């Protein structure tokens, strides 16, 4: 079967900086493909090349079988994009924005009304459609942008950080819209995100990018399984001391000192937990609390990128082993 998206050695440089390095990915038809990575990993640059906004420095890519450089018009017609940053005209109403999009994408005038009504219904914005966009909340704008991306029935929909900066209720809402879309429409989606829960919930397959390269690619379940190990988090003020105490213990695969404690990736967490507590007590280390859990996608991410993701505003999620900022627009 022909792939929805295929890239071959796709590369993009900005002056001396290489944002995307010889990227080879392929996305199957009908799947949701998650592109994960820290800020500046090259996710948005990759999407921009696939959407024909940026020209590749070298390498090729096809979207829906069309070359992104030579057949850019065909690519544009066959894709929908929800950009990372807002891209609506806030002086127009929601409906006016949608009509404008329908006209730009050559939707037949006779079909426009019904298509617009149906996408408005999908994102539950029928009541507010005739209000100016500037009166919309952040979540409503995002929903309208998703609706807009669907008017011309694209075969591939790009969602660049679709829920960034939104509250948990709105995120949940948008996720269920995305899940609903996937069931009801024959559509391939490419999703970039910083949020591990989002990637885990929505994606069929995930590629983790760092420094412009794919460092791991598989289904979320398989990626978690590959880590093979439970995570024990010990909250203590003497994390580094504890780390040297338990170092060398069999079954401890990795130890990371994180903010306010020690994070251990281990085999057989249940059996190991009492021994760790005992070792701490023997060495006079006071433990505030301990917890045990199975690995999640955040652990996978940390494992491959060696540092935790930084969310908006630069707040740290977990310990950051190396802070390197390479923000690319």
Partner 1 sequence: MTEIRGIYTLWLREIKRYLRDRARIVSSFVQPLLWLVIFGSALRVLVSIGELTYQQYIFPGIVGQTLLFTSIFIGISVIWDREFGFLKEIMVAPISRFSVFTGKLLGASTDAMIQGILVFVLGALLGITVNPLILGEALPVMLLITFGLVSVGLIVASFIESLESFGLIVNFINMPMFFLSGALFPVRGAGVPNWLQIAASCNPFTYAVDALRTVILGGSWQPLFPLYVELLVVTCFDLAMITIGTWAFGRRK
**Of residues 297, 320, 92, 109, the one with CA closest to residue 208:** 297
Q: Does 195 bind partner 1 (CB under 8 A)?
A: no
**From the CB of 88, what's the least distance to partner 1, in Å?**
7
Residue among 99 and 304 whose Cβ is closer to partner 1: 99
Which residues, numbered 205-224, are part of the site for partner 1 (CB under 8 A)?
none
Query: 230-268 in b/e burial notation, b at 16+ Cβ within 10 A?
Result: bbbbbebebbeebbebbeeeeebeebbebeebbbbbbee
Residue among 19 and 227 whose Cβ is closer to partner 1: 19
- Listed as own residue / partner, the contacts of 135-142 with beta carbons closer than 8 Å and 24 or more positions apart are 136/94, 138/165, 138/166, 138/170, 139/166, 139/167, 139/170, 139/173, 139/174, 141/86, 141/88, 142/82, 142/166, 142/170, 142/174
Start-to-end CA distance of the chain, whole Å, equals 34
Q: Does 192 bind partner 1 (CB under 8 A)?
A: no
Number of shown-chain residues binding partner 1 (CB under 8 A) = 26
Which residues, numbered 83-142, are part of the site for partner 1 (CB under 8 A)?
83, 85-92, 96, 99-101, 103-106
Residue among 76 and 143 whose Cβ is closer to partner 1: 76
Count the Cβ atoms, other than its own, within 10 Å of residue 89. 12
CA 264 to CA 201: how far, in whole Å?
A: 25
Tell me if 186 sits within 8 A of 30, measured CB to CB. Answer: yes
Residue among 144 and 262 whose Cβ is closer to partner 1: 144
Q: Does 77 bind partner 1 (CB under 8 A)?
A: yes
Candidate ranges 80-88, 233-241, 266-274, 315-323; the one touching partner 1 (CB under 8 A): 80-88
Write the binding mask 13 to 52 for partner 1: x where contact by CB under 8 A, - elsewhere: --------------------------------------xx
**From the CB of 91, what's the least distance to partner 1, in Å?**
5
Give start and end residues of each alpha helix (H) in 185-219.
196-202
Which residues, numbered 259-278, are part of the site for partner 1 (CB under 8 A)?
none
Q: Which position among 55, 70, 113, 326 is part of the footprint of partner 1 (CB under 8 A)?
A: 55
CA within 13 Å, CB half, 178: 32
**From the CB of 204, what's the least distance to partner 1, in Å?**
25
HEC string of 100-135 equals: HHHHHCCCCHHHHHHHHHHHHHHCCCHHHCCCEHHH
Residue among 165 and 274 whose Cβ is closer to partner 1: 165
Q: Does 73 bind partner 1 (CB under 8 A)?
A: yes
Q: Does 11 bind partner 1 (CB under 8 A)?
A: no
Residue among 104 and 221 whose Cβ is closer to partner 1: 104
**From the CB of 97, what's the least distance to partner 1, in Å?**
9
Transcribe 15-49 into DSSP letters.
TTEEEEEEE--EE-TT-EEEEE-STTSSHHHHHHH
**From the CB of 78, what's the least distance to partner 1, in Å?**
9
Binding stretches for partner 1 (CB under 8 A)? 51-55, 73, 76-77, 81, 83, 85-92, 96, 99-101, 103-106
């Amino acid at each position: 079967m022909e792939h929805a998206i295929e890239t071959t050695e796709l590369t993009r440089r900005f002056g001396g900086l290489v944002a995307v390095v010889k990227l080879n990915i392929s996305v199957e038809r009908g799947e949701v493909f998650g592109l994960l990575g820290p800020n500046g990993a090259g996710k948005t640059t990759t999407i921009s090349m696939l959407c024909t906004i940026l020209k590749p420095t070298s390498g090729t890519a096809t979207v829906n079988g069309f070359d992104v450089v030579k057949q850019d018009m065909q690519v544009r017609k066959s894709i929908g994009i929800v950009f990372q940053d807002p891209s609506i005209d806030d002086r127009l109403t929601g409906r006016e924005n949608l009509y404008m999009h329908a006209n730009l994408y050559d939707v037949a005038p006779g079909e426009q009304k019904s298509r617009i009504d149906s996408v408005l219904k999908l994102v539950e914005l029928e009541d507010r459609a005739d209000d100016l966009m500037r009166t919309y909340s952040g979540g409503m704008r995002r929903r309208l942008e998703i609706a807009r991306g669907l008017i011309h029935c694209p075969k591939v929909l790009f969602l660049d950080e679709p829920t960034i900066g939104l509250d948990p209720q709105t995120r949940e809402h948008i996720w269920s819209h995305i899940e609903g879309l996937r069931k009801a429409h024959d559509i391939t989606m490419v999703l970039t995100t910083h949020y591990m829960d989002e990637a885990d919930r929505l994606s069929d397959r995930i590629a983790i990018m760092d420094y412009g390269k794919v460092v791991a690619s598989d289904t979320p379940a398989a990626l978690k399984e590959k880590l093979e190990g439970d995570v024990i988090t010990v909250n203590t003020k003497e994390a580094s001391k504890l780390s040297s105490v338990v170092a060398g213990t069999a079954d401890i695969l990795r130890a990371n000192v994180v903010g306010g404690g020690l994070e251990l990736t281990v085999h057989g967490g249940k059996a190991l937990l009492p021994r760790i507590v005992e070792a701490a007590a023997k060495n006079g280390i006071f433990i505030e609390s301990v917890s045990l859990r199975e690995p999640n996608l955040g652990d996978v991410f940390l494992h491959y990128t060696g540092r935790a993701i930084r969310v908006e505003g630069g707040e740290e999620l977990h310990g950051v082993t190396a802070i390197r900022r390479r923000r690319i627009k």
